[in-house]
Amino acid sequence: MSLRDACEFMSRKDYTDNWESEMHETFCFWDFNEWTRHLTAVGFRIAEPSQAYTNEWIVKNRLLNKVSLFTDDAARKPIDYPVTNMLMLAVKE
């Protein structure tokens, strides 16, 4: 499974009451750098304190001991949870 697909699953796995609605949304289509590239290409400046980060509450309450991620090589080493949130302040120049 790709990391993107794993992130999509992890971002909505607990929303069982509205699962069908959740399946119509996509959250992980661009990373921070892709958002930056596309926004600057159409005339925005990315302002401080824009950042991508892993929300520790989400890790502790939604992921830890429920979902594990591993490298996709033969070693299958555990990997850290990926970015869960992004704050992007785009200023139109």
Count CB-CB contacts under 10 A for residue 77: 9
Average pLDDT, the chain: 93
pLDDT at 51: 97
pLDDT at 29: 85
| Domain that residue 12 falls in | 3-92
User: Counting beta carbons within 10 angstroms of the beta carbon of residue 32, is it exposed (0 to 12), middle (13 to 18) or buried (19 or more)?
Assistant: middle
Segment 43-80, tens digit of pLDDT: 999 999 999 999 999 999 999 999 999 998 899 999 99
- For the chain, how many structural domains are there in total? 1
Task: Extract long-range pairs of 65-72: CB within 8 Å, 24+ residues apart.
Answer: 66/13, 67/6, 67/9, 67/10, 67/13, 69/3, 69/6
